[in-house]
């Protein structure tokens, strides 16, 4: 679809749809924010591909805000794209990758899910495809259309299976958490956490690295450039380890080039460094989460093995059931621990609570199987 009028006719049809499939193609290799290059839509009896390079996507907000269920696969980045392009995200969401996790598949690709559910092999795309180039080749359009052409049928099959196992609401709840997850522009004050070498720094060096990483993030947003185009991670670490006070000292830092030494940029960097040295970040504000009580650390390894077995028995993706971070959050007593609420609390959280409180025990049941059972408190003779 290459005209606003044509897109308006698609929106008119979609107003009455109970559900619709949606996918996007986008690029962000040379920008901070993703740039949408194509939007694929499918509904009962219809399919359309919208060219956002010539069509205004803003009117699609009406459909996203409507009652129809938006069906996407691995939707997190698509939701970010939609929020930028349309100013909103779907009010109701089903992510088929999430739903498949409750049917025993571990974060399946779209192609793997189609092959398992429908016996269909999707056309392959070149991972280096430039979706912003026009005109798009017929093979590119065929690939893009295949992402949504049968997605509603896949979703219906997953719904039937999950309703039969009593897990459909679990899938919807998980998709709602995904829908509400914060995305888009990152918090500049947290940018340092994504640089591995910075996390090992201490004292004033970490304060400087944190300040410079935040400056880089803000500048990348303003210029809509990838952060690496503004300043490399290596340069941030170098500045933190040897905080410069002059342009000459800046020139001596590895990872900096002429782009970073122009008068305006050099002055900004030096001001950021000076301010960070004069006003260091309190350790309590930039430290990692509290460490798990040493006495509970063995429980993480033990329970992780039980979780893996439970996930296999229940045919649920282990990452959906409980991650190691989830276990540690529960054992620390974090207020937002994922295992303390909803269906996970019943299946995982409460049994773990009983285990660490001594009310239950994990035992081998033969053939390498673990069983969580009530604890008798009776020691074996001679032990």
What are the catalytic residues? Answer: 23, 25, 78, 143, 147
Distance of CA 211 to the CA centre of its chain: 25
Q: Is 12 exposed, middle or buried (0-12, 13-18, 19+ CB in 10 A)?
A: exposed
Distance CA 339, CA 332 (A): 12
Q: Is 68 exposed, middle or buried (0-12, 13-18, 19+ CB in 10 A)?
A: buried
Select from 296, 289, 288, 313 the least CA-distant residue to 365. Answer: 313
Pairing of strands 35-43, 46-50: antiparallel
Distance CA 147, CA 153 (A): 12
Q: Is the dihedral of CA 49, 54, 55, 57 positive or negative?
A: positive
With the CA atoms of 336, 339, 341 and 345 taken in that order, what torsion angle do they form, in degrees rounded to the nearest 10? -160
What is the tally of helices (H) and strands (E) in the chain? 20, 7
Contact call for residues 213 and 198 (beta carbons, < 8 A):
yes
Q: What is the CA radius of gyration of the chain?
A: 26
**Taking the chain, what is the end-to-end CA distance rounded to the nearest angstrom?**
76
Phi, psi of 41 (to 5 degrees): -130, 145
Distance CA 225, CA 81 (A): 16
Distance CA 203, CA 191 (A): 17
Distance CA 10, CA 4 (A): 10
């Amino acid at each position: 679809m290459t005209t606003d009028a044509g897109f308006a006719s698609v929106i008119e049809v979609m107003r009455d749809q109970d559900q619709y499939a949606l996918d996007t193609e986008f690029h962000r290799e040379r920008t901070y924010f993703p740039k949408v290059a194509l939007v694929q839509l499918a509904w009962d009896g219809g399919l359309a591909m919208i060219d956002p390079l010539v069509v205004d996507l803003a009117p699609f907000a009406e459909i996203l805000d409507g009652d129809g269920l938006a069906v996407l696969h691995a939707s997190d980045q698509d939701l970010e794209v939609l929020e930028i392009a349309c100013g909103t995200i779907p009010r109701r969401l089903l992510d088929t990758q999430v739903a498949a996790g409750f049917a025993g598949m571990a974060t399946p690709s779209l192609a793997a899910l189609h092959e398992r559910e429908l016996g269909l092999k999707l056309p392959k795309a070149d991972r280096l495809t430039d979706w912003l180039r026009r005109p798009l080749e017929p093979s590119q359009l065929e690939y893009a259309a295949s992402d949504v052409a049968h997605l509603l049928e896949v979703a219906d099959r997953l719904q039937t299976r999950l309703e039969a196992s009593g897990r459909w609401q679990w899938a919807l709840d998980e998709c709602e958490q995904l829908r509400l997850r914060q995305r888009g522009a990152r918090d500049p004050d947290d940018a340092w956490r994504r640089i591995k070498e910075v996390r090992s720094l201490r004292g004033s060096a970490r304060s400087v690295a944190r300040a410079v990483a935040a400056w880089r993030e803000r500048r990348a947003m303003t210029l809509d450039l990838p952060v690496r185009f503004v300043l490399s991670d290596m340069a941030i670490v170098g500045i933190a380890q040897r905080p410069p006070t002059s342009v000459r000292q800046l020139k001596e830092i590895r990872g900096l080039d002429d782009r970073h030494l122009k008068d305006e940029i050099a002055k900004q960097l030096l001001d950021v460094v000076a301010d960070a040295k004069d006003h260091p970040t309190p350790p309590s504000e930039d430290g990692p989460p509290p460490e798990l009580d040493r006495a509970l650390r063995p429980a993480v390894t033990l329970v992780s093995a039980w979780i893996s077995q439970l996930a296999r028995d229940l045919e649920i993706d282990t990452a959906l059931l409980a991650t190691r971070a989830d276990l540690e959050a529960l054992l620390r007593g974090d207020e937002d621990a994922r295992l303390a609420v909803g269906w996970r609390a019943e299946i995982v959280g409460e049994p773990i609570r009983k285990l660490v409180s001594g009310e239950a025990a994990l035992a081998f049941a033969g053939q390498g199987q673990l069983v969580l059972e009530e604890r008798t408190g009776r020691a074996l003779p001679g032990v």
